[in-house]
Structure 1
């Protein structure tokens, strides 16, 4: 199932990051549309969480490589 390694965790983290970013954009857009500061903040938190997941995946993948 997993390309690199025995566990499917990297794939789940990638999908989780992408889903969090998409969900964050949708929540942020609805918060902007209806003027809700809470939804805007929640959407930005989801976007940041998704970006953190994806950046950590890239950093972990490139940890053993030297440029």
Structure 2
């Protein structure tokens, strides 16, 4: 079952942006922890939060029209 939305491109950008931000965040966090760089670790965690936020916004937008039982 595929939901059709008028702003499908926005949802796609949020999904891809969120996934890319999570991957970059994981890499930056790993490099920051490896080289004991607090700033890089913080930046990695910031990207992880940004990516998770974008995915949550995408899910909330997709489920706006449906009602929960």
Structures share a fold, TM > 0.5?
Answer: yes
Output the TM-score relative to the length of structure 2: 0.87
> Across the two proteins, how many residue pairs are aligned to each other?
65
How many Å separate the matches in 2 of 1:6 and 1:63?
Answer: 13
1:30-53 deviation per Cα after TM superposition (whole angstroms, max 9, x unaligned): 000000000010000000000000
How many Å separate the matches in 1 of 2:42 and 2:51?
Answer: 14
Superposition CA RMSD, Å: 1.3
Question: Where do 5+ consecutive residues of structure 2 fail to align?
Answer: none
Question: Where do 5+ consecutive residues of structure 1 fail to align?
Answer: none
1:60 maps to what in 2? 61
Output the TM-score relative to the length of structure 1: 0.89
